[in-house]
Amino acid sequence: MATPRRRSFATLDASRAGSTGATAPRRTTTADRIKDFILGEGLRPGDPLPTEAELCEHLGVSRSSVREAIRTLSTLDIVEVRHGHGTFVGSMSLDALVEALVFRGVLSPGDDLRALRDVVEVRQALDLAMAERIVASLAGTSNPELHALVDEMVAAASQGLSFPTQDRAFHTGLLARLDNSLVGQLVAAFWDVHTAVIPKLGLSVAADLDQTARAHGAMLDAAEVGDVEAFRDAVASHYQPIDRALGVTTA
């Protein structure tokens, strides 16, 4: 991979980088100042950051402060350290959110599975909230790649097998035509949390795999014919198996 050409940075100014005013709610950290710098320069994922020495000099902080800040930001995927090449703006994925929510979901399994119920509720809320836009984006279209995923899910379910890869690809594929990449990332993130937590808590919805698989097909069919209510009904059917496993009662 070629290393992007270094550039000069106008906003690296120690005299103003840490100025937040007397009413600042908390002390500005070196990590905060590096984030402000990324925003101030209009940097995008993959763009190079100044060297460690340049950050130390221009922010007026120690090498250890810069290293600690870079480690913190790297954990959050805000920056990416490429050994031998430098530090770059990260992809800013939601991986850190997923890890935290997975841990939260299994930390207290004795609380009647409340944390996992919350995750599933958010997933369902996102699907229902985007129903009209999903249907509008797919109405009148043909989507053989999504139908192929449904066929694979139904075939797997008939053999008592789960289908996580196809399931995730289907949900993200439904949102692919929307002009809102954050929704797709959130849907994928909460899907990842949901599917990671279930086996850790010893839950199983194997008996309902066929219903889950076919509900995906019903969602797609409804979207392609432009039927929002049928889409919402299919979403509800899709979540019934996990709701039963979690003891959720529905009206």
Of 7-16, 65-74, 86-95, 143-152, the one with minimum mean pLDDT is 7-16
What pLDDT, in 10s, does the model give residues 170-203?
Answer: 998 998 888 887 787 787 787 877 777 776 666 6
Q: In the prediction, which pLDDT does 21 show?
A: 46
142 and 224 in contact (C-beta within 8 Å)?
yes
54 and 69 in contact (C-beta within 8 Å)?
no
Q: What is the four-CA torsion angle of 63, 64, 66, 69, rounded to 10 degrees?
A: 180
Burial of 87 (0-12, 13-18, 19+ CB in 10 A): buried
HSE at residue 116, side-chain half, CA atoms within 13 A, is 26
What pLDDT, in 10s, does the model give residues 238-248?
Answer: 988 888 877 76
Give percent of the chain with pLDDT exceeding 90.
37
205/182 Cα distance (integer angstroms): 29
Higher pLDDT, 31 or 222: 222
176 and 168 in contact (C-beta within 8 Å)?
no
Of 109, 110, 9, 5, the closest CA to residue 54 belongs to 9
Residue 34: pLDDT over 50: yes
Computed over every residue of the chain, the mean pLDDT equals 81
Q: In the prediction, which pLDDT does 150 show?
A: 97
Q: How confident is the model at residue 111 (pLDDT cuts 50, 70, 90)?
A: low
Quick one: average pLDDT of 247-251? 60
Quick one: average pLDDT of 77-84? 86
88 and 214 in contact (C-beta within 8 Å)?
no
Of 67, 75, 7, 74, the closest CA to residue 43 belongs to 7
Burial of 70 (0-12, 13-18, 19+ CB in 10 A): buried
Of 248, 239, 245, the closest CA to residue 127 belongs to 239
Q: In the prediction, which pLDDT does 105 show?
A: 57
Of 60, 57, 34, the closest CA to residue 47 belongs to 34
Quick one: average pLDDT of 90-118? 66
Quick one: average pLDDT of 198-211? 71
| Angle subtended by helix axes 209-225 and 144-158, to nearest 10 | 160
Quick one: average pLDDT of 56-72? 91
